[in-house]
Amino acid sequence: MIRGENEDAVSAWANEIHERLLERPPDDLEILAPQPDFQPKLRGKFRFMIMIKCLDVIPAVQYIKTVLGSVKKKRGVVTTIHVDP
């Protein structure tokens, strides 16, 4: 989940994260393109999501954290990981 007050910044960050995730994903990961969340704007913040499907959640989360840790954070944009096993 990527959210922030500036829709263009949130969308651009979602696309950048998506590109980074596609660089060297584990074999069982299916990474879908960024899209607006089910509630695209909530409490003044625009929300985009990147859906990732996998067979084993632990290596998937580790990979996501590695990718997020390798990019410089964007000011005013918050990125969170939601796990639904």
pLDDT for 1-50, tens place per residue? 999 999 999 999 999 999 999 999 988 899 999 999 999 999 999 999 99
What pLDDT score does 13 carry? 95
Q: Is the pLDDT of residue 74 over 90?
A: no
What pLDDT score does 52 carry? 94
Query: What are 15's two structure tokens?
Result: 């696309």
What pLDDT score does 69 carry? 92
- Distance CA(52)–CA(62), nearest Å, equals 13
- Distance CA(74)–CA(85), nearest Å, equals 28
39, HSE (Cβ side, Cα atoms, 13 Å): 6
- Distance CA(4)–CA(28), nearest Å, equals 30
pLDDT band at 85 (very low <50, low <70, confident <90, very high): low
Residue whose C-alpha is closest to residue 17's, from 59, 78, 58: 78
Q: List the Cα angle 40/45/49 in 5-degree steps.
A: 45
What pLDDT score does 12 carry? 94
